[in-house]
Chains A and B, each alone.
Chain A
């Protein structure tokens, strides 16, 4: 891949806090290497802003290895930018051309309030997990490995679902800000494994109730979530959650 430097115009969302009204601000950056990551480009810009005595742009990041799911940036009209199965730290500047204007916004969802600039509060996801995304285990010595037989296919499917990093790209890309892909990945992962069986029915009911309470929208099966998921989580998980929900609902004795 040919290396090149570029000059870019950035239109970035600036918002003081969750109560303030935000607006776009335009910045110019130059000497951006095509080998930089998108976040490194922001580091360069922020350093420039600090040197100029201006306030740097607040954005979330942690591992910069594509697995922390903190970046929450909607870049040029796509969750995590133009590449697929990708996070912002793994988005490299070679995805852009010299002289391009790039629009960067935070996730837009009622359930993900903006904390500041490009940082959003995804604690709604944590509360959904707390509502049922757990299993009961006995304390004491660790059980023998492989003492619980698991079908290879189930183990693989559960593992695929478990690769969800909770980044919220599914919510961001969905026209309804629905969290179905996230919640279904968590429900599926535990419903497929023997360890998840005791809470299987209460889990799906409680997690869906919490999801609704947080103000996420409903699933229209556009599958934008799957297309934008950095981990390629399948919408087959959503169908599985619908199944789990229907089954738990039918088994429920509440009137």
Chain B
């Protein structure tokens, strides 16, 4: 087996999907933890402190490249797998009852992933592009910025950016909530499925992995969903 087979064979591709999937899950933990700092309701002080660290720390910035590489690999392999899978059944069943043998979300990973990708494009446009490409210097700890200046975008801080994006935009809030719902269902299957793809299926550990997966798929998207809601409904300011 050559290196190429990890990227082209059926099991090789699934190993890549599992590994990148788990890697992206670890990113979600970091992302969700740091963003939850907004709930301190301290005008974004704690949150901006960490956002500043994430945006300026050299190690984090290098890891960010790895994150994009992992994300792109996950997306590209996902679509290549889907294309192969479609080819494997050229004639469809006239009558099919897949709900009697499997869960709808386990069969819809491509669709849920596509919805996530669309959401992600908007999400990157909202936060990553202005904060990273708009100049790292713009992400300053709150004490160096003037929150009231967020309207003219002169001194961008991420907390102010969140406020700007969510505060008066109902449709953005709705799109974000739909995005995290897609995430929840994608994780509901993906979390435990990644372990199976990596060869971990054990009478003792698999039930634990499945339960942790369900809890993760509910808790993390729920916290994410609360963020735009909190700004829109004015729970935090």
Q: Residues of A at under 8 Å CB distance from B?
A: 11, 13, 24, 74, 76-78, 103, 105, 108-111, 173, 175-178, 180, 205, 208-209, 211-212, 215-224, 227-228, 235-236, 238-246, 248-249, 252, 254-255
Asked if residues B1 and A105 are in contact (CB atoms below 8 Å), the reply is: no
Count residues of B near A (Cβ-Cβ below 8 Å). 43
Interface stretch (choices B165-173, B196-204, B214-222): B196-204
Q: B197, A105: Cβ atoms under 8 Å?
A: no
Contact A108 B2 (CB under 8 A): no
Binding site for A on B (CB under 8 A): 1-3, 5-6, 9-15, 81, 84-85, 87-98, 100-103, 106-107, 109, 189, 192-193, 196-201
- Contacting residue for B199 out of A76, A176, A217, A246, CB 8 A: A246
Smallest Cβ distance from B82 to chain A, in angstroms? 9
| Residue in B2, B13, B87, B196 whose beta carbon sits within 8 Å of that of A221 in the complex | B196
| Contact indicator B193/A221 (Cβ below 8 Å) | yes
* A160 CB to nearest chain B CB (Å): 13
C-alpha gap A76/B97 in the complex (Å): 8
In-complex Cβ contact of A217 among B89, B193, B196 (8 A): B89
Q: Could you jot down 10 A-B contacts, CB within 8 Å?
A: A77-B97, A78-B101, A109-B88, A111-B88, A216-B88, A221-B193, A222-B107, A235-B196, A252-B2, A254-B2
CB-defined contacts of B84 to chain A, threshold 8 Å: 176, 217-218
Instruction: Contact check, A105 vs B201: say whether CB atoms are below 8 A apart.
Output: no
The chain A residue sitting closest to B15, CB to CB, is: A246
Q: Please determine whether A254 and B1 come into contact, CB atoms closer than 8 angstroms.
A: yes
Contact in complex: A249, B5 (CB < 8 Å): yes
**CB-CB < 8 A to A78: which residues of B?**
97, 100-101
A240 engages B88 (CB within 8 Å): no
Do residues B98 and A175 form an inter-chain contact, with CB atoms below 8 A? yes
Task: Check B85–A218 contact: CB distance below 8 A.
Answer: yes
Alpha-carbon distance A255/B3, docked complex (angstroms): 6
When the two chains form their complex, are residues B10 and A249 in contact, meaning their CB atoms are under 8 A apart? no
Closest residue of B by beta carbon distance from A184: B11
- Whether A221 contacts B197 in the complex (CB less than 8 A), given A205-B1, A209-B9, comes out as yes
Known: A109-B88, A224-B101. A239 touches B201 (CB 8 A): yes
In contact, A77 and B201 (Cβ under 8 angstroms): no
A77 touches B93 (CB 8 A): yes
Closest to A106 in B: B91
A217 to B82, CA, bound (A): 9
**Distance between Cα atoms of A76 and B44 in the complex (Å):** 58
Q: Give Cα distance in the complex from A46 to B22, angstroms.
A: 54
* B89–A77 CB distance below 8 A: no
Complex partner residue of B196 from A105, A109, A218, A238, CB under 8 angstroms: A238
Q: Report whether A217 and B9 are in contact in the complex, using a CB–CB cutoff of 8 Å.
A: no
Q: Supply 18 further A-B pairs (C-beta < 8 A) apart from A76-B95, A108-B92.
A: A13-B94, A76-B97, A77-B95, A78-B100, A108-B89, A109-B88, A110-B90, A111-B88, A175-B98, A180-B10, A208-B11, A217-B89, A219-B197, A220-B106, A220-B193, A222-B101, A242-B198, A255-B3
Q: Smallest Cβ distance from B88 to chain A, in angstroms?
A: 3
Give the chain B neighbours of A249 by CB distance below 8 A.
1, 5-6, 12
Q: CB-CB < 8 A to A177: which residues of B?
A: 85, 88-89
| Closest residue on chain A to residue B197 by CB atoms | A242
CA distance A185 to B118 in the complex (A): 39
Docked-complex contact A24 and B94, CB < 8 angstroms:
yes
The CA-CA distance from A178 to B84 in the complex, in Å, is 10
Q: Are A241 and B93 interface neighbours, CB within 8 A?
A: no
